[in-house]
Amino acid sequence: RQERQGKRNKGFVQRRVDLKGRVTEVYSQLLAHLRWSFVALEQIWLNSSLLSETGDIFFLEFAEIRRLIEGIDTDLVEQLAEIIKLRRSQLAEHAQINPVPMLVYGNTPPALPLRIAPLSPDHTLQGIAASPGQAVGRVRVLRNLQSIPEIDKEIILVVPYTDSGWAPLLVRAGGLISEAGGRLSHGAILAREYGIPAIMDVRNATWILQDGQKVRIDGTRGIVEISNDLRPE
């Protein structure tokens, strides 16, 4: 009876995880379509000289974009260049702010070794150091939660992003590499709680790295090492 109950509970949890993954996937698709619409709109405005530089549209608020589309706010059009210039300068200033400390409250992270062996890779990827520690393992690329393979501490998960739906996978993995996110992203926080190394903001990681490829990750310095003798099986 307990075994049947355990199976039912496991099935319920799995269905909830699948649902969470599906909701996240649809939400991400909607955001992607919204971004594509903004990019297409920006190209029209670049061609008409309303905007002067690629990326300008992302320094405007949604209400401002709507007013520009309606074409009834001449004052906004006249001030547009200054508004974008100001917000670009604010972004540059914010980039100089001291980074968030590794520990705000909770358990003190593991002390860094006095000497870290230098990396001598044939190829490296650089990202944001999000959870300290080193790990060597086989890459498992997951672009969504629709088909989840067996995962253990020998697996280094490579994902496009992380949210709460990925938590059951991270607790079983030996390390994490994510294309998006920073030190305060959901995956980075979980990795620190679980005590596994994590590197965020590794661009195109899910396309550069391959299933079965052996890598060493350094979550202290944000480095992924790939060597010729660590090729896919």
**What whole-number distance in Å separates Cα of residue 133 and Cα of residue 197?**
5
Name 229's Cβ contacts closer than 8 Å, sequence gap at least 6.
Answer: none
Say whether 94 is catalytic: no
**What whole-number distance in Å separates Cα of residue 220 and Cα of residue 132?**
4
Which long-range contacts (C-beta less than 8 Å, at least 24 apart) are formed by 21-24? 21/144, 21/145, 21/146, 21/165, 22/145, 22/146, 23/165, 24/145, 24/163, 24/165
Q: Which of 33, 94, 123, 186 is catalytic?
A: 186
Residues recognised as catalytic: 186
